[in-house]
């Protein structure tokens, strides 16, 4: 008798859902990956979606957007260590446009390099 885990994996692959589930795991991995790169100030950011092969991250201001662009390679690598995913880019969007706002302290602190 084969384990049920293998049967589920085969069914997901057959339905083409395996890749989508792997991509969603990048959403879950964001918090820890961002903390690895930015420290506790990363709590000012939040993964809010996926677009093609990009993880969409809500940020409180332009300083965060710039820092994420500069450290995108580190962030993608940190996500890859935590999740099986084909994410190759991080796209920062203003938190106000993403429907999420960091607390006041998180917004003021900004990224620390």
pLDDT at position 106: 40
| Percent helix, percent strand, percent coil in the chain, to nearest 5 | 60, 15, 25
Per-residue model confidence as pLDDT tens for the chain (113 residues): 457 767 766 665 666 655 555 566 889 999 999 999 999 999 999 999 988 889 999 999 999 999 999 999 999 999 999 988 889 999 999 998 655 445 444 443 455 44
- Taking alpha carbons only, the member of 10, 13, 5, 111 closest to residue 66 is 111
Contact of 79 with 87, CB cutoff 8 Å: yes
pLDDT at position 104: 43
- Taking alpha carbons only, the member of 71, 85, 68 closest to residue 29 is 85
For the domain bounded by 23-109, which CATH number is listed? 3.30.300.180
Q: Where are the domains of the chain?
A: 23-109
CA-based torsion, 82, 58, 55, 67: positive or negative: negative
């Amino acid at each position: 008798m084969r384990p049920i885990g293998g049967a589920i994996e085969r069914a997901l692959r057959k339905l083409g859902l395996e890749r989508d589930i792997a991509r969603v795991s990048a959403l879950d991995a964001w918090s820890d990956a961002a903390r690895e790169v930015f420290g506790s100030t990363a709590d000012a950011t939040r993964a809010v979606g996926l677009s093609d092969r990009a993880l969409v991250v809500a940020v409180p201001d332009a300083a965060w957007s710039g820092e994420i662009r500069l450290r995108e390679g580190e962030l993608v690598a940190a996500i890859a260590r935590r999740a099986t995913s084909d994410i190759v880019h991080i796209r920062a969007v203003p938190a106000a446009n993403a429907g999420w706002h960091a607390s006041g302290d998180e917004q003021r602190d900004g990224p620390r390099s």
